Structure 1
C-alpha cells in the first residue's frame, strides 16, 4: 500500500482546516469542539488569542458570541412559557406596553401585533437595517441607527426607538432578521423582574456550570479575551461598541448579541439541547417544548434565513433548522440546527443524532466561509464516529 494514497482521517483534516484558516488570516486562532453522545470526537485550541501579543490560543478563551446569544435567550423564554409565565402566541405589548399600536410604513396599523413566537422566529418586523428593502423605511432606520447605538442605550431608549419606527413587515409574514431577540430579552426582564443577565445566570448559567458566560468581560478574564486581526475593522467596531457599553454599566443587556462565552460553556448549553433538555441532573425543557423549538416555524413559501445559512433551512424558535427537502450548502440532514455570531462563532447540532460542533474564532470579514468549511470538515469526524 502506498502511504501517500492514504485518506487522511477526520482529526487530520480538522488540523489542516485550522492551519489553513489561520494561514489565510481568517482569524488569528480558534477553539473547536465536536462531540457525539457525550464522547468528544475532537477538541482543539489553535493559533493565537491576540495577534498583537502573539499569546497562544487557550481552550478557555473568551469570545464575543454575538447572535449566538439568541438561542440562549430563546431557551430561557421557553422555560418561562413552560412555567405559565409567558405565552408564545400572546402579543408582546402585554408585557411591553411601550410597543402597543405599532404601525407599518404605510401608516396603517398592523393586522395584528407581534407575538412572543414572532420574536423567536424573527417574523416580528423589528428588522436590522440590512434586512430592510423599503427605501423610506430604510432611511428612517438608518437615521435612528439602532444597529449602531443599541449597546449604549437603556432598555427604555431601545423600546422608544423601536416604537418610533414602522414595522418592516406585517407580523408573522416574513423572516426579517433583527432586534426580535433583544425585545424578547426585555420581555424576560419584565416577566422575571430581573436584569437579563441575572435571569440567565439563575435559570441556565449557574445550573449548567457556564461560569465564563455573561454580558461583560470580567477583569480577571481580559487576558483570555480573543481578538481579531487589526485589518478586520468590522469586528473591532462591533467589539468596541459592546466594550463601551460595559464601561457604561451595560445599560442594555442585549438578548440579540451581547454575551461573551467560551467553547466549554457553550458546549454545556448545546449538550443540554441534544440531551433532550436535560443536563447536570435536572430538566430544563420538556420534550414537547423542544419539538416546537426544533421545528420549522415558517410558511413553506417563506425563504427564511437563506441569506445566512444558504438554501435548505427554515427557522424554529431560536435556531435555523434543516428542512427535509431542498439543496443545502453543507452536508446536513433534516432536523439539524445551527446559528452563529457575526464575530466569528458558530454552533451546529443534531438532537436526533445527539451531536454538536462548535467553532469559536474572532473573525467578521470571512465568517460565513469559515463556518461552512468547518461544518464540512466536522462531517468527516461524524462519519468516523
Structure 2
C-alpha cells in the first residue's frame, strides 16, 4: 500500500513537472519569430520601392536578448553605408519620454511637483498670453482645412495657471511651426528656436510667443516637453545633458542615448519624400521649428528636451526595457514601479477609438487587433524622421524601427502597421 502511494506521488509529480515544462516551452515559443524571412520581406519592400532610404529593426526581450534584427539600405541613396544597432540616429520626439522620465525622477526626489506652476521655475512665462481669433474663438475650434480663417489673431490673458503636469500632458499651450495656422506658424519660424545659443536665450525667444490655448484646456502636441526640460534645468541648476547622464544613462549603464554625437561619428543625411520622390532634404524642408533644426554640436549648449537627442537602436532599446521592467535596469532602480505605471495610465485622448495617451506614451486599443496591425495594450512612441518604438508588456519585449525620412510619400506610412501586423500574425499563430 505504501509503495503504491509512493509510486502515485512520483507519477503525479512527474505530470506536474511535464505540464510546467510544457507551459514554459509555450512561453518561449511565443517570443520566437517563426518566419523571419516574412518580416525581412516587409522591410525590404519599403526600401526597394523608394519609400525610405534605409530601415533597421531590432526586437529585444526584457533581458536584452536579441530576438530579431534586419537592416535594409537603399544603396543608390546611401552607397557604401551600413546601418545596424550601433548606428547613431536623430530620434526627435523619442527624446520626450526620456525628459518626462527625468522630470518624474525629480518629482520622486521632492525637487519638483506635478502641480507646481511653471512660473515658479520660469518667471519669464508668468504673463504669457493666448492667441484667439478676431471673433474671440479658441483656435482649436477651427478644423484643419480652414485654420487660415482664424487669422489674424488677437491676444488675451491666460485664464489658468500653467503647471508641470500640463507640460507633461501637452496641455500647456505650446506648439510647433506646423499647426496649420499661418499667423502662428510664422511667429515660431521667425524665432528659429534651435539656433538659440543656450537655454536662457531659448526662454527669451519662447516668452515672445503666444500660447495656442488656455493652459489645461485640451491636448495639443508641441514643444511642451522642451519647456519641461527647461523647468528641470532651472529646478536643479544643471543642464539637461547632465541630468540625463547622472540620472539615466550612467547608473542604468545605457550607452547609445545622449544629446551630442560622439567624436568621429557622423549622422546620416536628412531625406524627404515630399515631392513623391525620395531625395535629400534642403534647409527648411524639415520645418517643425521653421528654417532650422537641432545641430547636435558639442559647442552649442542647448538641449531640447522634446527633440534634441541622438541614439542607437541598441541604446534606445535599453531605455524602453527599463520602462518595461517598471523602472529598473541592470540592477539599478531609476523610477519607482508606481511611477512607471502612471506613465502608461490613462491621461489624455480618452475618447480616441485607437487607444489613449499616457505621459506621451500611446497605449493601443482593440482597433489595432481588429485591423491586424498588432493588439491592445502596446506602449508606442515615435519621432519626426520616422523613428518608432513600442513595448509589449504581455510578452515582455521591445521593438525599435529606425529610419531617417520626413514626409514619406503614400502609402509608405503603412510601414509600422504592416511590420507589426506580420510580426503579430506570426506570434498569434505560434501561440495558438
Question: Aligned residue for 1:3?
Answer: none
CA RMSD of aligned residues (A): 2.9
Which residue of 131, 134, 149 corresponds with 2:192? 149
2:364 maps to 1:318: no
- Pick closer, same or farther for the CA change 1:264–1:299 going to 2, 3 Å: closer
> Any idea what the Cα deviations from partners look like across 1:251-294, whole Å, max 9, x if unmatched?
42111111110000001001111111111101111121112110
Deviation (angstroms), 1:355 = 2.2
**Take 2:344 and 2:120, find their aligned partners in 1: how far apart are those partners?**
26
Which residue of 42, 61, 69 corresponds with 1:17? 42
Of 260-269 and 321-330, deviating more is: 321-330
How many aligned positions are there? 362
Contact 1:69/1:258 (<8 A) preserved: yes
Contact 1:348/1:375 (<8 A) preserved: no
**Where in structure 2 are the equivalents of 1:165-180 lying within 5 Å?**
165-180=209-224
Unpaired runs of 5+ residues, structure 2, are 1-32, 133-154, 272-277
Contact 1:273/1:351 (<8 A) preserved: no
- Pick closer, same or farther for the CA change 1:356–1:58 going to 2, 3 Å: closer
Question: Aligned residue for 1:116?
Answer: 164
Contact 1:228/1:236 (<8 A) preserved: no
Question: Aligned residue for 2:55?
Answer: 30
2:335 maps to 1:335: no
Which residue of 261, 275, 282 corresponds with 2:325? 275
What TM-score results when the alignment is normalised by the length of structure 2? Answer: 0.76
**Take 1:275 and 1:200, find their aligned partners in 2: how far apart are those partners?**
19
> Any idea what the Cα deviations from partners look like across 1:121-165, whole Å, max 9, x if unmatched?
1111101132365xxxx414413416x822211322322232222
What TM-score results when the alignment is normalised by the length of structure 1? Answer: 0.84
- Pick closer, same or farther for the CA change 1:244–1:83 going to 2, 3 Å: closer
Contact 2:286/2:406 (<8 A) preserved: no
Contact 2:58/2:68 (<8 A) preserved: yes
**Where in structure 2 are the equivalents of 1:265-304 lying within 5 Å?**
265-298=315-348, 300-301=350-351
**Where in structure 2 are the equivalents of 1:1-385 lying within 5 Å?**
9-38=34-63, 39-47=65-73, 51-106=77-132, 107-131=155-179, 133=181, 138-145=182-189, 149-153=192-196, 154-222=198-266, 225-229=267-271, 231-233=279-281, 237-238=285-286, 241-242=292-293, 244=295, 246=297, 249-298=299-348, 300-301=350-351, 311-323=353-365, 331-366=373-408, 368-383=413-428, 384=430
Secondary structure of 1:157's partner? Answer: helix
Deviation (angstroms), 1:71 = 0.7
**Take 1:232 and 1:272, find their aligned partners in 2: how far apart are those partners?**
35
Unpaired runs of 5+ residues, structure 1, are 1-7, 304-310
Q: Which has the larger radius of gyration?
A: 2
> Any idea what the Cα deviations from partners look like across 1:278-317, whole Å, max 9, x if unmatched?
111011111211121101212645x5xxxxxxx5132111
**Take 2:227 and 2:264, find their aligned partners in 1: how far apart are those partners?**
31
- Pick closer, same or farther for the CA change 1:236–1:144 going to 2, 3 Å: closer
Deviation (angstroms), 1:236 = 8.6
Contact 1:141/1:165 (<8 A) preserved: no
**Take 1:40 and 1:284, find their aligned partners in 2: how far apart are those partners?**
23
- Pick closer, same or farther for the CA change 1:265–1:235 going to 2, 3 Å: farther
Deviation (angstroms), 1:189 = 1.0
Secondary structure of 2:57's partner? Answer: strand
**Take 1:60 and 1:236, find their aligned partners in 2: how far apart are those partners?**
28
